[in-house]
Structure 1
Amino acid sequence: MRISARADYAVRAALQLAAAQDSGPVKAEAIAASQGISHKFLEGILNDLRRGGLVYSQRGGNGGYWLAKPAGSITVADVIRVVDGPLVSVRGVRPPELAYSGAAASLLPLWIALRANVRQILEGVSLADVASSRLPAEVAALTDDPAAWTNP
């Protein structure tokens, strides 16, 4: 699985909004500067998040962006899906829509298992979890294995 720059930036922007949830609207320029993201690129991402119902926006001097729901009710998966679509696809196709035969027949269950694991992690972690540095125990445990941090 590959996390696109767009998805990475969207999650980072959403986390900035989660961290400022009680402070009112946050300007796109402030998010861009704090995260080192191109302002122009970020505007497109924020518009996607707005259209996806995850953020609200307001124009004007007191305007900016804020989360449309509490950070605890928005998962990392929600953000990624809004900007990139399905969490796992094979050649742009969702795994249940694939069919394999012969020696590759058992490949489909492998892709389904991969999707299930990705969903379990990304749907199980809210913006509030990440913003507060309190990942769920089962997710944090996966990082305890030193092999998780190395490139094979």
Structure 2
Amino acid sequence: MRISARADYAVRAALMLAAAGQEGPPLKAEAIAEAQDIPHKFLEGILNDMRRGGLVASQRGVHGGYRLARAARDISVADVVRAVDGPLVSVRGVRPPELAYSGPAESLLPLWIALRANVRSVLEGVTLADVASGRLPEAIGALTDDPAAWTNP
């Protein structure tokens, strides 16, 4: 699986908004872009996708900017990735249940479905509040405790 720059930037921007809280003043896109080293124009498009996805709210004017539309504990990392990149797992741009294989490749479909289930389990099981607080769920910690998880084969 590949995490796009767009998804990485979106999660980082959402974490900035989570850390700022919903009660404080909205954050300007320029401030987020500078703090996270994200190209400003690219971030504007990402924030607009997240706004259309119901994850962030924008406010115009001198005191304008962005804030989360819901509490950080109610937004999963999966929500953010889907808002900017679409489905978490696709094969050639197609969702796994829409695929069909034959012959020796027939058992490939359950493999893609299992991959999607595991990606969902991880990304849907972690909220912006978890990441922003530095307290990831135990299941995530267990996955990262395996030294093999940190190496590239």
TM over 0.5: yes
TM-score where L is the length of structure 1: 0.99
Alignment of 1:67-106 (within 5 A): 67-106=68-107
Letter in 2 for 1:8: D
For 1:24 and 1:124, locate their aligned partners in 2 and report how far apart those are by CA, in whole Å: 28
- Structure 2 SS opposite 1:13: helix
What residue is the counterpart of 1:112 in the other structure? Answer: 113
Offset of residue 53 of structure 1: 0.5
Query: Runs (4+) of structure 1 moved beyond 3 Å?
Result: none
- Structure 1 SS opposite 2:131: helix
Offset of residue 23 of structure 1: 2.1
Query: Unpaired segments of 5 or more residues in structure 1?
Result: none
What residue is the counterpart of 2:53 in the other structure? Answer: 52
- Structure 2 SS opposite 1:143: helix
Query: Unpaired segments of 5 or more residues in structure 2?
Result: none
Over the matched positions of the two proteins, sequence identity in percent amounts to: 79
What residue is the counterpart of 1:6 in the other structure? Answer: 6
The number of equivalent residue pairs is 152
Alignment of 1:113-152 (within 5 A): 113-152=114-153
What residue is the counterpart of 1:65 in the other structure? Answer: 66
- Structure 2 SS opposite 1:65: strand
The question of 1:19 aligning with 2:25 is answered: no
Deviation digits for residues 14-36 of structure 1 (CA, Å, limit 9, x no counterpart): 00000001422000011000000
TM-score where L is the length of structure 2: 0.98
Offset of residue 147 of structure 1: 0.7
- Please provide the CA RMSD for this pair: 0.6
For 1:70 and 1:58, locate their aligned partners in 2 and report how far apart those are by CA, in whole Å: 17
Offset of residue 61 of structure 1: 1.1
